[in-house]
Every structure is written in C-alpha cells, then in structure tokens.
Amino acid sequence: MKAMTLRAHGGPEVLQLEELPDPILQADQVLVRIKAVALNHLDLWIRQGLPHLKHQYPHLLGSDIAGEIAGLGSLVKGFEVGQKVLVHPGLSCGRCESCSLGWDNLCPHYQILGEHVSGGYAELIALPPRNLLPFPKNLSFAEAACTPLVFLTAWQMLVERAKIRPGQRVLIHGATSGMGSAGIQIAKLFGCEVLVTAGSEEKLAWAKDLGADFLINYKKENFLKKITDHFGKYSVDVVFEHVGKALWQDSLLCLKWGGILVTCGATSGYEVKTDLRQIFFRQVQVLGSTMGRRGRQFEILRHLEAGRLKPVLHGIMPLEEAQAAHRLLESSQHFGKIVLEP
C-alpha cells in the first residue's frame, strides 16, 4: 500500500512517500480502505517529536479517518465489505474499570491513532471493530474525516467537563482552528454567548458566520482588556483553551469567580505561570481534557446528520502532498480542517 511515513523527527520534509506491505488482518479485526484522513495539530507535534513517545518505525500519522470496509476477520460479525465507516481515533483495553464504566478515554492503556500507534496516512488500516462508527449519511468522506477527534474533544471539554448551560459566556481561543470551529458550534448549540479570538479580520468574519457573537483580533488588541472594557472585570463563565503559554494568565484573569478554564493542548508552550491566589481565592476551576468517551460519538453524529453541527473543511490534498499540507497547517492560514486523500 501507499503511505506517507515518518522515520525521523523534524520538519515536514521528514514525511516520505513509500510502498509498505498491506496490514495483516487478524481474526478480530476489520480492514478499512482509507478514503480521507484529516490533519490535526497533534500530527505536527508527533512529527516534531515528543520526549515521552517511542515509536516503531515507519510510523504513520493521522487520527481522523473515513473510509470503507475492505476485509473482515473471521471472528467479526455485523459488518459488510464495502460498508462506509467513520473511525473512532481512541484505542482502549475494553476490560478495565474505566472502560467498563464507559470512560474508555480514562483507560490506563489508552492510545490515539497516529500518536501512540500508526494511523491513517496510508491506503489501508486494520482496526478493532469497536473503533468503527456509523457513517453520517449527509457527508462526503472528506467532510466526515473532519469530525471525530475535534468534535469529541470539544464536546468533552464543554459539555462533560465545563457543563456549559444556556446563557453562559464562553471564550474560545483559536476560533478558526479545527478545535475552535467545533467549540463555537457546540457552545452555540447549548445556547451560550460565544466570544472568540483570532489573528485577522478575515478569520473573525469566518468565525462570525459559524455563530460567534463577540470578536477579538488578538494581534491588534489585548483580549483581556477588550473583554473587561465591554463586559466588566471577571466576566467570562468558561474559557475553552488549547493554546497554552501565550494566553494562559490572561485567560484565568478574565474568568468570573467560580469560572472554569478547560484545556486540551498547548500549541504555544506547556510551561505556564499561574498565580495560585487567582485559583483558590476566586475559586476558579482548571480542568484538563483529552479526547472523550467513545459513546458520545453517536450523539455527536446525530447532530451532524441533522445539520445542527457541521464539519468545517478547508480543503483536500492528495496524500502525496502531506508535506505541503503540514506547512499549510503550521502557517495558520487555513479555516477549519485540511484533509488528505490516498
């Protein structure tokens, strides 16, 4: 099969097109022919190298996969060859207490496709059948690939962890990223007032079209000052945070007493300064979040099929152009998700 492989860490140039052996299908697995795989910032971090991860090479990036079943192991029932499927990116043991309670993303053995094990930068992948999700009927392969990781992560952050409620004021950083665009839609779905930050007027206009109510160009104005001037001091109920170091301190300072900051990433750096007095005296909550429960994917998919949530597709590129796709993602000159097609 054709694959874009990673054998060393570095810039986009380390991604190389190769011919690899097709996956060996085990009796308890399903073989999926990949039709589309979406990029995430996670792909950039893995490509650049993370100290805690030790990969077997060649390693394949790519967490968000849409395709069709190309083969069934002898023990697999309930699926058909040719059936369209969406892939849940999380792998868990299925046996521990967390998995049994439906919190598979808290499994001690939890892994993410493309991060801990090889993912979808290829033509084929072999997976456990529990990782297959119903394919949203109204979406293309490319549109469907835009949805699993970002919508599940944003759903857990806002709905499961922050427990957003109608009328709350939610600040979403990085509005035009995959995470930001999912966060805006979910917050609006729950009746929240959405404040966003982005780096250009064009991006803010795009965020407004998604439903954002209050727009802040962080390159021209300090977001904390603008929020304070308009709404007053300590006026945000929930901060949806995936930027890290660059915005951390001001994100805490904009929160109401008892407000919530929920974070899933650190694109600008993970070492942050925190004035603990702002945490304990104002009773602010800081919550971490990674992915979400697999079962929540079905609820999200119903919203996608009904059009209440929409995938945000920036563009499609052939798998062979993965280097260029990574450069585009790093440039932040995109709106929504970049998708590769094998």
Q: Hey, what CATH class is 2-147+312-341 in?
A: alpha beta
Neighbours of 86 (CB within 10 A): 25
* Tens-place pLDDT, residues 61-94: 999 999 999 999 999 999 999 999 999 999 999 9
Q: In this predicted structure, which of 56-60, 109-113, 271-275 has the lowest mean pLDDT?
A: 271-275
* Tens-place pLDDT, residues 272-322: 888 888 899 899 999 999 999 999 999 999 999 999 999 999 999 999 999
151-288 CATH choice from 1.10.645.10, 3.40.50.720, 3.10.20.740, 1.10.10.10: 3.40.50.720
Cβ neighbours for 4, distance < 8 A, ≥ 6 positions apart = 15, 16, 17, 18, 60, 61, 121, 122, 319, 320, 322, 340
Cα 150 to Cα 19: distance, rounded to the nearest angstrom: 30
275: its two tokens: 């004035």
What number is the average pLDDT over the span 192-212? 93
Can you give the residue ranges of every domain in the chain? Answer: 2-147+312-341, 151-288
- Find the largest Cα–Cα distance for the chain: 64
Asked if the bond preceding 108 is cis, omega within 30° of 0, the reply is: no
CB 251, CB 25: distance < 8 Å: no
- Token pair 């919508």 in the structure block, residue: 151
Q: Is the pTM of this model over 0.85?
A: yes
Closest Cα partner for 199 from 213, 181, 217? 217
